[in-house]
Each structure stands twice: as structure tokens, then as C-alpha cells.
Chains A and B, each alone.
Chain A
Amino acid sequence: EDQVTQSPEALRLQEGESSSLNCSYTVSGLRGLFWYRQDPGKGPEFLFTLYSAGEEKEKERLKATLTKKESFLHITAPKPEDSATYLCAVQADSLSSASKIIFGSGTRLSIRP
């Protein structure tokens, strides 16, 4: 069964303290892995898509990496405005569910000034 697990559930950091969020996945074949940011009371906002192991994408203080079993979202020198819930999702490459998208339950990140 296709599955996405994110850890930790919650993470509190001091401003400037770098860290990583983990997304491990089990799918029959990976078509794409996606990272989103969600602020309280709002819909998720797209950050990155990764397609193959070894791929990396960067945006400001965020960097996403992908291996065959997991993805990491690295946050370098975070600021309070980076506080949000970060969601990981995968799209499986199978005939029966080629367009289905599975989300993890998210990591709630809090950055203290």
C-alpha cells in the first residue's frame, strides 16, 4: 500500500537554528514527490516537485532533496516567518492510480525569535 510518513510531527527551533524535516514514502513507483507549506486557516501553498533520486531544489532558506526512500526539507537559518506546517505528498506511477496523490500528515514547524 502506498504510504507517506513525515517526521517529526512538530519541531520548535530558535531563529537561525538550521534543521531538516523528513518524508519517507512507500510507493510502487514514484512519479513525483511534492512539498507544500500550509499556514493556519489557509490552503497549502506549493514549494517544490522532485522527480528522481539525487534531485535537489532550492528556494530561499529551503532546500529539498530526494532519495529512493525519503525526502528531506532542509531549513537553513530559519526566521519566524518560516513557521508553518510543511506537507509532503507523492504521486505513484502505477496504472491503477496514476493520478492519485497521497499526503503525509505534516510537520508543524515553529521558529522562536
Chain B
Amino acid sequence: EAQVTQNPRYLITVTGKKLTVTCSQNMNHEYMSWYRQDPGLGLRQIYYSMNVEVTDKGDVPEGYKVSRKEKRNFPLILESPSPNQTSLYFCASSLGAGNNEQFFGPGTRLTVL
């Protein structure tokens, strides 16, 4: 089954404790992206990747890191989480940047205390 998976689905952590949210797709997609979704603000793009080893900042990259060492994986790293990073996070992938039928993962709900 074609899908985007994220882990964990739910995470409660404390300020400053490094964490990684994994994202994997099995569709051989080139384009992958991370979003956060907050009430009233909609989906905001954090980082995106056009292909392996190619990443770029979205609208809200501060406090986040990403890497794309393999085509299928695109982990999101919070080196020192803060309470304002409490949010619902979605990973998405598509064939290419110009083909934007994006497939979204199920979401990761992160709470930073």
C-alpha cells in the first residue's frame, strides 16, 4: 500500500530534550516536506526536500533541522524543543515539486512542557 508513515504519532517531552520525528514514504517520491498545523494558522511549511541531499527552508524553519540521506526518509529534528513548538506535525511527499498531489502522513502530535 502506498503510504507515508510517521513516528511517533504522539509525543510529550520537556523543554530542551532533543527529539526526532521520523517520516518514510514507499512511493519513490522525490519531493518531501514537513508542515506544522496550529489552530487559526493553518498548515505552515517548515522544510522541504527536492531530492536526496537537497533541502531548503519553508516559512517557519527556526528551531528545526532536517536531513535527506535516503530518498524514502526525511526525519525532522528538534535539537532543543521549546513550548512554542507544541503542534501537530505532518510529513508529505509527492513525485516532484511541480507535481503537487502531495500524500500526507497521519500526523504527529507533539507537546513540549
Q: Is A98 an interface residue (CB 8 A)?
A: yes
Q: Is B31 an interface residue (CB 8 A)?
A: yes
Q: Is A71 an interface residue (CB 8 A)?
A: no
A-B contact number at CB 8 A = 62
Closest-by-CB residue of B relative to A104 is B42
CA distance A34 to B104 in the complex (A): 14
Give every chain B residue within 8 A of A103 (Cβ-Cβ).
35, 42-45
Q: Is A66 an interface residue (CB 8 A)?
A: no
Residue among B33, B43, B103, B105 facing the most chain A CB atoms (10 A cut-off): B43
Residue among B33, B35, B98, B106 facing the most chain A CB atoms (10 A cut-off): B98
Residue among B33, B35, B42 facing the most chain A CB atoms (10 A cut-off): B42
CB within 8 Å of A: which B27-67 residues: 31, 33, 35, 40-45, 48, 50, 56, 58-59
Minimum Cβ distance to chain A for residue B59 (Å): 7
Give every chain B residue within 8 A of A102 (Cβ-Cβ).
45, 59
CB within 8 Å of B: which A27-50 residues: 31-32, 34, 36, 41-46, 49
Closest-by-CB residue of B relative to A44 is B104
Is B45 touching A91 in the complex (CB atoms < 8 A)?
no
Pairs A–B under 8 Å by Cβ, sample size 9: A34-B102, A43-B104, A43-B105, A43-B107, A89-B43, A89-B100, A99-B31, A99-B50, A105-B40
Ranked 8 nearest A-B pairs via Cβ: A43-B104, A105-B42, A103-B43, A99-B97, A46-B101, A103-B42, A44-B104, A43-B90
